[in-house]
Amino acid sequence: MKKLLIFTLLIISPMVLQAAGFKEGVDYKVIAAQATDSGDKIEVQEFFWYGCPHCFAFEPTIAAWNKSKPANVEFIRVPAIFRPDWEVQARAYYALKNMGLIEDMHGKIFTAIHKDKNRLNKKQLIVDFLEKNGVDKEKFLAEYSSFSVDGMVRKAKRKLKPYQIQGVPTVAVNGKYITSGSMAGSYERMIKIINYLIEKESK
């Protein structure tokens, strides 16, 4: 009886471990390793678009995770620029980031687009919206057209192909793995997969 119990446990234990983990090719994908910008920290990048309703739905979940993420993790947002007209919002994101205002304005931009039905898909629409929300118009316009923002936009565009970004939101972990809402099945499970991949890279 004792031998049977031990044998049963030996069979069940790997099954339990497998069930508790996540499967490559199903829950996440391995990509060709990409260089990261976070030094010794594990880099987590969220590819997003302000006009995407799924990104809007995911924002509270990823924002909460960002506040409690492990100390060895660096979180970076990357505007996905699939079409030329998406560059307007990407430029706005990076301009606000350079001004130190992105954390204050990021959620407000999402809300304006998806709740207030203000598309903010034109430069002037964004300028007017930001000015109403206390952003210095002249400083924003200077950053929007700056060499620095030009470089950030070009870099964001270059990332789409090697990171195999086909939709948003997609999250990349340490330049090696990607996962998405469609792969994870839910945003809460997506966070669990991200944490699993972080733990994998931390070992």
Q: What is the pLDDT of residues 73-84, one digit of tens each?
A: 999 999 999 999
The region of weakest confidence among 16-25, 125-134, 165-174, 181-190 is 16-25
Residue 70 lies in a domain: yes
Enclosing domain of residue 62: 23-202
Q: Determine, yes or no, domain membership for 9.
A: no
Quick check: is 17 in a domain? no
7, part of any domain = no
What is the pLDDT of the chain when averaged over all its residues? 92
On whether residue 158 sits in a domain, the answer given is yes
Mean pLDDT value across residues 141-149: 98
Domain assignment of residue 13, yes or no? no
Asked if pLDDT for residue 66 goes beyond 90, the answer is yes
Would you say 194 and 65 are in contact if contact means Cβ atoms under 8 Å apart?
Answer: yes
**DSSP string over the chain:** -HHHHHHHHHHHHHHHHHHHS--BTTTBEE------SSTTSEEEEEEE-TT-HHHHHHHHHHHHHHHH--TTEEEEEEE--SSGGGHHHHHHHHHHHHTT-HHHHHHHHHHHHHTS-----SHHHHHHHHHHTT--HHHHHHHHTSHHHHHHHHHHHHHTTTTT--SSSEEEETTTEEEEHHHHSSHHHHHHHHHHHHHHHH-
- The predicted pLDDT at position 104 comes to 98
Q: What is the mean pLDDT of residues 30-45?
A: 97
Q: Evaluate if residue 2 carries a pLDDT over 80.
A: no
Please report, as a single letter, which amino acid is at residue 117. K
Mean pLDDT, range 120-137, rounded to an integer: 98
**Which phi-psi region, left, alpha or beta, contains residue 36 (left: φ > 0; alpha: ψ -120 to 50)?**
beta
**For residue 5, is pLDDT > 90?**
no
Number of domains in the chain: 1
| pTM of the predicted model as reported, rounded to 2 decimal places | 0.90
pLDDT digits (tens, 9 = 90+) for 99-127: 999 999 999 999 999 999 999 999 999 99
The CATH number of whichever domain residue 120 belongs to comes to 3.40.30.10
